[in-house]
Chains A and B, each alone.
Chain A
Amino acid sequence: MKMKKWISLSLIELDQHYKISKNRYLLKHTKDETIPFFALLAVLATLIIIYFPFYLDFIKVNLEFYTLKGTESLFIAEFVMITGFIGFFLGAFVLIGEFFLKKDMKLLITLPLKPYEVILGKLSVVLCDQMIISLIFLLPALIYFGIYNHLSVGYYFSMALVILFSQIFPVLLVLVFILPISHLFKKFKNKELILYIITSIFMVLALIYIFSSNDIFFVVTKNPQNMPDIYINPRSIFSRLTWIYPPAFLAAKSLINTGIYRFSWTLGFIGFHIILLILSLYIGEKLYYSTYVNFLETSTSAKKEEEKNIDLLFNKVLSPNKALLKREWLYFLKTPSFSVNGFTNVLIFPGLCVLLAIIDAGIGINLQREIKGPLLGMKMYWVVIISSLAGSLSGLSYSCFSREGKFIKELKILPITSSQILRTKFIHIMQLSSIGIVSGALIGYLLFKLNFPEFVNVLIFSVIISIFFNLLQMLIDAFKPFFDWDNPQKAMKQNANGLFSILVIFGILILLGFLFYFLSNYTDQYYVLILFSCVFAVFDLLLWQILKTRTTNLLNED
């Protein structure tokens, strides 16, 4: 492939993905567009300021620990591996969206481009997206390592290469998995959904794999008595990395060594990625186009005569409100990116709690004594956190308008009021959220051994605060909805409103935790929650009114 062609294709893909030309035009012509841009920058800056000291501390403690044990290479490997795992979990759905759901393939497939050329173009977009993970997690760790050990320029050169290549392995791993799987199921009716489900299973299996190999990493969190066993022979543990996460082994080797050895290991590191890339492109060349063509096609079925009966076709009448709710559910369920994300999100917090309970019971990390003790003092609050987060971080509320995309026009031209639209969206969100609220409360109830009145109190407050959080996120989305997405994955996962929402929700929960702790000194936590319920019920009503006005304005906008 000519380099010029690849650069041109990649630039076009990146331009379209990040809307560079469009945003430049908008910034030039409509100054209003600068406000959300700077607001987003402010949120990111706040997050970095809050997060960085903690992360730096984490890096420092880790490096000192590994230096003390004489296993600095494991420090590098740990961070390369963490970055890779995060990239793997966050990148899988992004990759599916980019490769199979994005509309631009309809155009690209008609151009005189070979499949591997298109794959390279698309990979550059995914890798650019994923690079943010390496910049956040890996870059500070490696820079700190260089400064701590007073390393030469050669180290920083190899470090730059390690960072640049750090997302290639996880992304290609997902690609090598997805290409044959998508090919296998290309003729199926619900192929998109199948692809999402199988990828989710793949991710769960990867989690189990990581969990089963945790005697290498995460030792810091384990019982200190076990540590000497692990560090009896650090060299053999380090060698085992070759099989567990090869890039971490190669990256550590290239950064720990000096001179010609560093150069050789760096070449090995690059060569490993190039071989993997060639393998992925080879598989892609064989499978990608033929699979994608099937993703574009949808089979029609021959109808029996009785199915053409008009009386049977029009057999049921719904009220406009019920019809709108049905539409909301249909559009949600029929778009796998929405439904898979939505259902996963409401179950993720209760799931993590169950996992924690299993780990606690199974390998005995002494949660009772060290963590559970102080936790139990505010047990009702913790159950509220599990339940309300499960009920309000579904991703549905901060994307309630964004998910409409171009169909916001449909809502605008129908003879329905903005209140009807808002009510429908709210009911739909709360119906899904209730799964998270109830399962979160039940799991919390079992974990923290609440009595029945406490459980009811927690459940009532969780519902009230989840309503508040969901309304708040809907309001955030109503102020700046993201309609202009080209694949539905972006409406939920790459929506800046989600970032705002998470920041606001966690801020409120921290504030509430402090208030709860403070008030618990004066009265029973049971009454504190009743007080909170009353206050937030008023907030819910106020927020509803504000949201109603904002929705009306939004639907009246061009």
Chain B
Amino acid sequence: MIEIIELTKIFSEKIIAVDNINLQIKEGKVVGFLGPNGAGKTTTINMIVGLCKPTAGKILIDGMDIREEPEKVKKIIGFVPDDPLLFEKITGISYLKFICDVFEVSIEERRKRGGWLLQAFKLLDAIKDPISTYSHGMRQKLALISALIHNPKILILDEPIVGLDPESASILKKIMKRHASKGNVVFFTTHIMEIAEKICDEIAIIDKGKIIFQGTINELRKIKGDKSLEQLFLEVTKSENEKMDFSFLD
């Protein structure tokens, strides 16, 4: 379980990226983290995985504080950042082997899970090529495989669908669902409302650093009316796009 308690991140006096948020993400659920650009999604995720330090508040992963037991916490997290961190000069397989070694994945598990994932994402043909030869989508697939190969209890994905072809996107959605159904946590950000609507058990909406909603989509509909998630999202984030004048394009 991920517990975020009164979490705040202040970059400077003028920039409060995350403002005293509370979130609870339970096992067995796929939770979508939605919000406009610059709302604080990536900052929150970066704090969960240990990429940046909270100004105040606490993050507990399976009851452990990442600041007190960072290695133990990181060992159960699989993370795909918005911009995959892949050293371009090495081959895909070298990178996967490195990840497996660091996460101490057994050889049998590597072959079983790695083999399945490589085939599912159709990356087997290119896995011995340098990463620099990969397209954006292929890099995203490699990042996903490396996050999944060690069977993490907590799967955190920042914009995982971006760059994936429809088939891979569909496979990923199924993997996310199945991973959660086995008692794991899947926490991800997306700007594609259809995806959130389709696979999320719960959503959390963040705007200007504050959580403005957490619950199921049906619960949101009960409050705001029976509309599409996109309309609901635009409403709760007080979007002004309806009032915009697009005539300058004519």
Interface residues of A (CB under 8 A from B): 29-30, 298-301, 303, 307-308, 310-311, 313-320, 322-324, 326-327, 330-331, 334-335, 406-407, 409-410, 412-417, 556-558
Contacts and interface: CB of A to CB of B under 8 A. Distances in A.
Interface in B71-97: 71-75, 77, 79, 81, 85, 87, 89-90, 93-94, 96-97
B118 interface: yes
Contact of B111 (A314, A327, A417): A314
Interface of B is mostly: helix
Given A317-B106, A330-B90, A412 B126 contact: no
A332 B100 CA distance: 21
B181 interface: no
Given A314-B100, A415-B74, A415-B102, A409 B81 contact: yes
A313 B90 contact: no
A414 B102 contact: yes
B51 A413 contact: yes
A393 to B, nearest CB: 25
A298, A313, A407, most chain B CB atoms within 10 A: A313
B114 A310 contact: yes
Given A310-B118, A416-B102, A300 B111 contact: no
15 contacts: A298-B130, A299-B133, A303-B128, A313-B115, A314-B96, A316-B97, A317-B110, A323-B102, A330-B87, A412-B50, A413-B50, A413-B77, A415-B71, A416-B71, A417-B71
B101 A322 contact: yes
B127 interface: yes
Contacts of A330: 87, 89-90, 94
B51 A409 contact: yes
A225 B12 CA distance: 70
B79 A413 contact: yes
A407 B87 contact: yes
A552 to B, nearest CB: 10
Interface string B39-73: 00000000001111100000000000001001111
Given A299-B133, A303-B128, A413-B77, 6 more contacts: A314-B97, A317-B110, A323-B101, A330-B94, A410-B87, A413-B85
Interface in B7-54: 12, 49-53
Contact of A320 (B70, B87, B101): B101
A327 B98 contact: yes
A319 B101 contact: yes
B104 interface: yes
A303 B125 contact: yes
Contacts of A406: 85
A327 B90 CA distance: 10
Given A319-B101, A326-B98, A331 B87 contact: yes
A316 B97 CA distance: 8
Contact of A314 (B67, B75, B79, B107): B107
B213 interface: no
Contact of B102 (A310, A320, A334): A320
Contacts of B193: none
Interface of B: 12, 49-53, 67, 70-75, 77, 79, 81, 85, 87, 89-90, 93-94, 96-98, 100-104, 106-107, 110-111, 114-115, 118, 124-130, 132-133
Contacts, number: 102
A409 B85 contact: yes
Nearest to A316: B97
Contacts of A412: 50-51
B102 A308 contact: no
B52 A558 contact: yes
A308 B102 CA distance: 23
A520 to B, nearest CB: 49
Given A298-B133, A407-B87, A415 B128 contact: no
Contact of B93 (A313, A317, A323, A415): A313
Given A313-B93, A334-B90, A413-B74, A301 B129 contact: yes
Contacts of B87: 330-331, 334, 407, 410
A314 B127 CA distance: 11
A415 B115 CA distance: 23
A415 B129 CA distance: 26
B67, B72, B96, B127, most chain A CB atoms within 10 A: B127
B208 to A, nearest CB: 19
Given A319-B101, A415-B102, A308 B125 contact: yes
A311 B106 CA distance: 13
Given A314-B97, A322-B101, A556 B53 contact: yes
Contacts of A310: 111, 114-115, 118
A314 B85 contact: no
B133 A300 contact: yes
A331 B75 CA distance: 23
Nearest to B72: A415
Nearest to B110: A314
A415 B64 CA distance: 14
A414 B51 CA distance: 10
Contacts of A415: 70-75, 102-103
A331 B115 CA distance: 25
A303 B93 CA distance: 13
A416 B103 CA distance: 9
A266 to B, nearest CB: 48
A314, A323, A326, most chain B CB atoms within 10 A: A314
Given A298-B133, A300-B126, A558 B101 contact: no
Given A310-B111, A314-B111, A415-B75, A324 B102 contact: yes
Nearest 6 interchain pairs by C-beta: A323-B101, A334-B89, A310-B115, A415-B75, A415-B74, A314-B110
Nearest to B15: A29
Nearest to B93: A313
B72, B89, B102, most chain A CB atoms within 10 A: B102
Contacts of B72: 415
Given A298-B133, A323-B98, A30 B85 contact: no
Contact of A335 (B53, B70, B89, B106): B89
Contacts of A323: 97-98, 101-102
A188 to B, nearest CB: 14
A30 B14 CA distance: 12
A318 B104 CA distance: 8
B147 to A, nearest CB: 10
Contacts of A314: 96-97, 100, 107, 110-111, 114-115
Given A300-B133, A314-B111, A317-B107, A307 B128 contact: yes
Contact of B132 (A298, A311, A320, A558): A298
A307 B92 CA distance: 13
Contacts of B102: 320, 323-324, 414-416
Contacts of A308: 124-125
Contacts of B114: 310, 313-314
A297 to B, nearest CB: 8
B178 to A, nearest CB: 21
A307 B67 CA distance: 42
Contacts of B110: 314, 317
Contacts of B67: 556
B90, B98, B114, most chain A CB atoms within 10 A: B98
